[in-house]
Amino acid sequence: MRKPAKTDSPEVQIIRKAIEMKLFYWLAGAMFLLFLLTQSVFFMFMAGALLLALVVAESLLGVMTHGVTNEIKELAMAAIFALAVWYGGGFLLNTPAPLDAIVTCSMLPELQRGDFVLVQGADVNAREIEVGSLEFGNVTARVDGDEYVIDKPLWLYCPFDERNVPACEMLTREPGRVSETYGPLTFKYGICNRRIDDGQVVKEFCVKSVVVDGMEYGENLSSDVILYDPLPNDRGYSYRPIIHRVWLKIRNLGDGKTYYLVKGDNNNIFDLQNGNSLVAQERVHGKVLVRIPYLGYIKLLISGLVSEPAGCDRYFLR
């Protein structure tokens, strides 16, 4: 006698119907769109919760229809596939970190927060110089012809001791008269125009160029953007790794190594002036090849970095 066909339970039918209708995808997409329009953390968390619900629903459906053992096998295969993509991509692109996401707004307007980037370990395109030594000690701040020796770069020194060094006051009033020398590098300040989301354009001080051995180097947006690891004792920037543009590729004749002077396009100063060390070649994962908009928000959500940091409503005009 023929056995009757097995029918799904009501719970399985409901889950299957929701998946077939792509209900979770539509709702998550709507929540993500609302997040982009409002920048409300609530909508981003809702989008993440719906995607998590989709994963749970599909796993439950798999368990109910095919059993726990089969579902574990499928999850294991998915994990193996993800690892193969990561390590395979790293092998092909010659880097231990082939994929990353933009966490902050320090590279506006070229790289947006939430962009997903593909990284390649290759020769970095930037202006190259040689120096006899890369020893950094005290900083010499200058206003016109007057010099003041301080124990740290102006960006870190001025908030605490601005009354003691005229360069600190002048930095906000007439930055074009201010410079600072740190090791073999002299940073010259000036005024940059920054556009705010409401349409205003404000003037701010910023580093306009760096002088090395009498040669002056301004910004060059054709230089590569690199992904690098700061040192554990570096004070600048809490997000790791850092994705910033190379201004100068420096060969140190003292130790024969290559270092990079880097800066975020949307930052007033170099990473070195914010408490980070020069970037040694061995700390560079690679250079940015391609960006994919929005896909990086997956990392932001998983990492708990959904809230928008300061500075995302403005960028420097070029």
Selected residue with higher pLDDT from 172 and 28: 172
Give the per-residue SS3 of the chain: CCCCCCCCCHHHHHHHHHHHCCHHHHHHHHHHHHHHHHCCHHHHHHHHHHHHHHHHHHHHHHHHHHCHHHHHHHHHHHHHHHHHHHHHHHHHHCCCCCEEECCCCCCCCCCCCCCEEEEECCCCCCEEEEECCCCCCCEEEEECCEEEEECCCHHHHHHHHHHHCHHHHHHHHCHHHEEEEECCEEEEEEEEEEEECCCCEEEEEEEEEEEECCEEEECCCCCCEEEECCCCCCCCCCCCCEEEEEEEEEEECCCCCEEEEEECCCCCCCHHHHCCCCEEHHHEEEEEEEEECCCCHHHHHHCCCCCCCCCCCEEECC
Of 22-31, 96-105, 299-308, the poorest mean pLDDT is in: 22-31
Q: How far apart are CA 134 and CA 114, in angstroms?
A: 35
312 pLDDT higher than 50: yes
Q: What is the reported pLDDT for 178? A: 95
Compute the average pLDDT of residues 252-269: 95
Total residues found in the chain within this entry:
318
Q: What is the reported pLDDT for 112? A: 94
- Nearest-CA neighbor of 260 among 285, 277, 242, 273? 277
Residue 12: pLDDT band (50, 70, 90) is: low
* Surface-to-core class of residue 29, CB atoms within 10 Å of its CB (0-12 exposed, 13-18 middle, 19+ buried): middle
Angle (CA) 144 148 149, round 5°: 140
Q: How far apart are CA 35 and CA 47, in angstroms?
A: 9
4 pLDDT higher than 50: no
Compute the average pLDDT of residues 100-106: 92
| Six token digits for residue 177 | 């008269």
CB 77 within 8 A of CB 62: no
Compute the average pLDDT of residues 221-228: 96
Express as a percent the part of the chain with pLDDT over 70. Answer: 90
Amino acid at 21: M
Selected residue with higher pLDDT from 235 and 55: 235
163 pLDDT higher than 60: no
| Six token digits for residue 144 | 């016109």
Selected residue with higher pLDDT from 307 and 189: 189
151 pLDDT higher than 50: yes
Q: What is the reported pLDDT for 306? A: 78
Express as a percent the part of the chain with pLDDT over 90. Answer: 50
Residue 92 has a CB neighbour count (10 Å cut-off) of: 10
Q: What is the reported pLDDT for 40? A: 74
Amino acid at 41: V
Q: What is the reported pLDDT for 5? A: 44
Residue 1: pLDDT band (50, 70, 90) is: very low
C-alpha 83, offset from chain centre: 23
Of the ranges 116-125, 152-161, 164-173, 309-318, the best mean pLDDT one: 116-125
pTM given for the model: 0.83
Task: Look over the chain and give the mean of its residue pLDDT values, rounded to a whole number.
Answer: 86
